[in-house]
């Protein structure tokens, strides 16, 4: 099943150049009144829907850093994968930014995921809803950024179904003032390196919890 999904995903990867800004008018939901935050419309897929939301953070140089977020909402019981899907197999999200304008880098970050275990093994990911923060670096910070992305991901219940979204939005940095609350929470949930590390450089165990199940020995 996983091998077949990989083949389907590879076959479906397209250059987003044709997407670019034909989609902008159709997808862009505009600026939220009074907030300086932006969103696209929803792209509906199998048991899920996706959109981009955009905000900004103050930067060290006194300017601002654009932050986008891929928001995925799934029907009850369905899940999608983290960047490492786990030992039971799966497909992490794939992003194609090639149709974008004035975009230097788009660095996708992943909030702390959940671990799911069943008879097939362990998978790692998210249920119900997730926002993946994306740090946006323009080529020219003084000009608008055209963000166009094709994203492919898996949505899974008992079986996994390939999903794909095509999203585009024109972002004027001068009109972006803050982060949407959901995107701010997702950014705070992204794990960061800890200063408390063992001598070998590996993370230090901070706490442990014992969970028992089954009949007593």
For residue range 87-121, what is the model confidence (pLDDT) as tens digits?
877 788 999 999 999 999 999 999 999 998 877 78
Q: How many CB atoms lie within 10 A of CB 79?
A: 23
Residue range 45-78, pLDDT digits in tens: 889 999 999 999 988 887 889 999 999 999 999 9
**Cα 104 to the chain's mean position, in Å?**
18
pTM of the entire predicted model: 0.76
Q: How many CB atoms lie within 10 A of CB 113?
A: 22
Residue range 131-146, pLDDT digits in tens: 999 999 999 988 999 9
45 is written with which tokens?
Answer: 């897929």
**Which residues does residue 29 pair with via DSSP β-bridges, in sequence order?**
none
* Triad 63, 110, 56: Cα angle to 5°: 20
18 is written with which tokens?
Answer: 């044709």
């Amino acid at each position: 099943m996983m091998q077949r999904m990989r083949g389907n995903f590879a076959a479906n990867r397209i250059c987003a150049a044709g997407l670019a800004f034909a989609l902008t008018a159709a997808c862009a939901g505009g600026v939220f009144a009074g907030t300086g935050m932006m969103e696209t419309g929803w792209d509906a897929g199998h048991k899920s829907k996706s959109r981009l939301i955009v905000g900004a953070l103050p930067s060290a140089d006194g300017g601002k850093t654009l932050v986008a977020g891929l928001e995925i909402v799934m029907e009850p019981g369905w899940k999608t994968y983290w960047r490492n899907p786990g030992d039971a197999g799966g497909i992490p999200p794939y992003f194609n930014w090639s149709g974008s304008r004035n975009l230097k880098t788009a660095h996708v970050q992943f909030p702390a995921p959940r671990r799911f275990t069943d008879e097939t093994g362990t998978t790692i990911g998210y249920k119900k809803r997730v926002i993946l923060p994306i740090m946006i670096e323009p080529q020219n910070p003084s000009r608008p950024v055209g963000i166009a992305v094709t994203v492919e991901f898996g949505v899974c219940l008992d079986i996994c179904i390939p999903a794909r979204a095509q999203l585009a939005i024109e972002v004027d940095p001068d009109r972006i003032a803050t982060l949407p609350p959901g995107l701010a929470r997702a950014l705070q949930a992204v794990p960061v390196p800890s200063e408390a590390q063992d001598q070998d450089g590996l993370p230090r165990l901070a706490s442990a919890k014992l969970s028992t199940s089954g009949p007593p020995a």
